[in-house]
Amino acid sequence: MAILSENGASEEPRLDKARHIKYWTRCLKTLLPHQYTSNDSNRLYLAFFIISALDLLGVLESVPSKEEREDHINWIYHCQHPDGGFRMWPGTDFGVRASKDNAMWDPANIPATYFALASLLLLKDDFSRVRRRGCLEWLPRMQRGDGSFGETCVNGVVEGGMDPRFGYCATGIRFILRGTMSGPLEIEGRSVGDIDVDSFVKCVQLAEAYDGGIADLGFHEPHAGYTFCSLGALAFIDRLEVGDHAHSKRSVATAPTNPSAVISWLAYRQTELTDPDAGIDSEFTAPDDTTDNDPSQKPGVGKIAKIQQKAVTPAHQTAEHSVGISIFDLLVDGAGMSGRTNKVADTCYGFWVGASLHLMKQPTLYDHAAMRRYMLGKTQHPVLGGFGKFPGDVPDLLHGYLGLAALGLSGCEGVKVLEGGMCLSREARERLPLLWKRWDVHDEE
């Protein structure tokens, strides 16, 4: 129940918007610290986080000038592959030394392409320089016989894991560039084929696990990130089964096969476990009867007793994780989301799980207030802005962005409403039909 002020009244932790803007402005305008070198080959997704965070905070058109935004758009196009699709960064482009013989080492990349297109949408680009036909011709070649998608295609071999992150990005590219139109499409006088939607659906069905979650492959452990990617991809191709009556009579293949099991697994992800170092072996004890069981007490009073209890028994923390820990950690009650059964909360799963429940049309099945308290009271960085992975962690781009995105799902003052399935603002998503109209494609729904 939040922070106790001196007079005993409680106060919810707030979004320190100015600090978040400062954090993202720094990410946009200065070089990222050298620790990001290991993510050099992921730069387009880092770029998406920066652009989209500034959009969610409502400052994308004021922090960078019009000229700077134009430069950013040009950089994204600089990453475009000559045959369509995008590279993650200019690092594979051989420039003047590019030739037919080394072209195989400079492939377009599926996630890079999704994040490039999404960033262009956020920057209000007109898509006139997107090699749309080339990109849509390349897309079906990125699908394997089993229905899964890869990351790149080198020398005719689809490379990269078989996990649904690539399926999500591939179907997202298809959604942006051709809506939900299925089958061959006439573009620039040529007939462009479609991906095999049915075999992709089958892939997701096979990855549904015994406890209701979805993994990357059959029999792997279910994971909230893969669950989101699978559900999001199904939504992009209009094959998501949410378990309501409207969908159950459809004749086409849909997934998941057991929507209520997925919903239950997702609901179970919310957890009050926050300390990555603590053993989670403390045995279950029923809440103290004198506080939670007495209806004469005002709501929330029981929680205060719990907070005081927490204050006298500090959580286990290694020295490393104790550094910079916010004072809120001991005072603020909250519950974030875990990515797998019996794991502790982590900022990014606030998005993966929250958005999954939104996609399943059950956005109220988690405690939004407890989630906001976890993020705003525990993982929001009190000095640098942004969000860390765990309480007290320094912020990073992924958690900083997905934290904002999660808040955008929960209705938080200062953050734009999020379109969960695309992980960007609803405002940006609503610009898509204008592009579709120009290309004469539409959302079939």
Q: Which residue matches tokens 């992924």?
A: 398
8 to 27, contacts with other proteins by CB under 8 A? 27
Give the residue with the Cβ less far from other proteins, 76 or 130.
76
Examine residue 289 and tell whether it contacts other proteins (CB under 8 A): yes
188 binds other proteins (CB under 8 A): no
Selected from 188, 281, 413, 444, the binder of other proteins by CB under 8 A is 281
Q: Is 106 helix (H, G, I), strand (E, B) or coil?
A: coil
> Binding other proteins by CB under 8 A: which of 25, 42, 171, 326?
42
Least Cβ distance, residue 125 to other proteins (angstroms): 13
End-to-end CA distance of the chain: 42
Number of residues that make up the chain? 445
Token readout for 248 is 């159950």
CB of 267 vs other proteins, minimal distance in Å: 4
Q: Would you count residue 230 as binding other proteins (CB under 8 A)?
A: no
Assess 94 for contact with other proteins (CB under 8 A). yes
- In the complex, the smallest distance separating the C-beta of residue 438 from other proteins, rounded to whole angstroms, is 25
Q: Using the minimum distance from each CB to other proteins, give the nearer residue, 251 or 342.
A: 342
Q: In angstroms, rounded to a whole number, what is the distance separating the alpha carbons of residues 299 and 286?
A: 18
The number of C-alpha atoms within 13 Å of 91 and in the hemisphere containing its C-beta is 11
The 137-176 site mask, x for binding other proteins (CB under 8 A), equals: --------------xx-x----xxx---------------
Q: Tokens 């006298």 label which residue? A: 312
278 binds other proteins (CB under 8 A): no
- Euclidean distance between CA atoms 101 and 208, whole angstroms: 42
Among 13, 84, 85, 107, binds other proteins (CB under 8 A): 107
> How far apart are the C-alpha atoms of 163 and 148, rounded to whole Å?
7
When asked if residue 277 is in the footprint of other proteins (CB under 8 A), the reply is no
- By CB under 8 A, residue 57 contacts other proteins: no
Q: Which of 26, 133, 310, 340 binds other proteins (CB under 8 A)?
A: 340
Q: Interface with other proteins includes 81 (CB under 8 A)?
A: no
Q: What whole-number distance in Å separates Cα of residue 401 and Cα of residue 388?
A: 10
Query: Judged by CB under 8 A, does residue 50 bind other proteins?
Result: yes
Q: Map tokens 């974030």 to a residue.
A: 336
Q: In the complex with other proteins, which residue's Cβ is closer, 146 or 443?
A: 146
Contact residues for 303 (Cβ-Cβ < 8 A; gap 6+): 1, 333
Contact 280, 351 (CB under 8 A): no
Between CA 64 and CA 232 the distance in angstroms is: 30
Asked whether position 106 contacts other proteins by CB under 8 A, the answer is yes
273 is a site residue for other proteins (CB under 8 A): no
| Shortest Å distance, C-beta 224 to other proteins | 12
| Angle (CA) 383 369 410, round 5° | 85
Which uninterrupted H or E stretch holds 21?
Answer: helix 17-29
Smaller CB separation from other proteins, 22 or 361: 361
Judged by CB under 8 A, the residue of 1, 2, 15, 51 near other proteins is: 51
Mapped onto helix, strand or coil, the DSSP state of residue 11 is: strand
Dihedral sign for Cα 202, 204, 209, 213, please.
Answer: negative
